[in-house]
Amino acid sequence: MQKVTVAIQMDELWNELSEKVKSYNLGTLEEEANLNIQQAREYYSAMETVTSLTSPLFLFYYMVSLARVIFICKKKLPFKEVLHGLTTRKEGISVTVKAHGTFPILHSIVSETRIKPGTKFSIEELIGMIPWISEIENPQLPPISASYLLCFLLSMLSRYEPVIWDKIRREYSISLFLRETPSNFLLEIIKVL
């Protein structure tokens, strides 16, 4: 029954997102925005069919596709960036922001600020900034940015460090993050638009 409720909720959110995109009167860019929405939906569907061993990969690219939608709507330009704008180090389990890439662009749109290149965030800091998995008073980053950073870190660990990833997914609130983030991230995207 819970899966049916989640599916209905997601369908409603997808419809709301599509209506928001239409309201921007993007002309020829509307096709690009809609294709990115379709990609996000497919990544979400794929994520639903795998375990937490690999689901962060699908969740991250779901977020990338939705980040592109924000850019297209807000900037009224095609999205051309191919870099993530992030890097990870397994020592200390952290993610570092780079000067150029999708994340710095997304963050500057959703927060109207920039993060200094070289700024590093630990997994603990990021978990503590995501309202649907933690109690937060004054988050350092908006939920879209914090969850995007955390998901990038988790996807890299899942892909390149499966032994470390297996340990982390049991030690932290990762199952809650993976379960709650698709709908909450989509809701945050709709709010920004």
Tens of pLDDT, residue by residue over 142-167, are: 999 999 999 999 999 999 999 999 99
DSSP state for residue 80 in the 8-state scheme: -
Does 122 score more than 70 pLDDT?
yes
Nearest to 36 by CA among 70, 10, 81, 69: 69
pLDDT at 63: 98
- For residue 41, what is the enclosing H or E element? helix 29-47
Enumerate the domain spans of the chain: 2-192
Interval 14-49: pLDDT, tens: 999 999 999 999 999 999 999 999 999 999 999 999
- What is the pTM for the complete model shown? 0.94
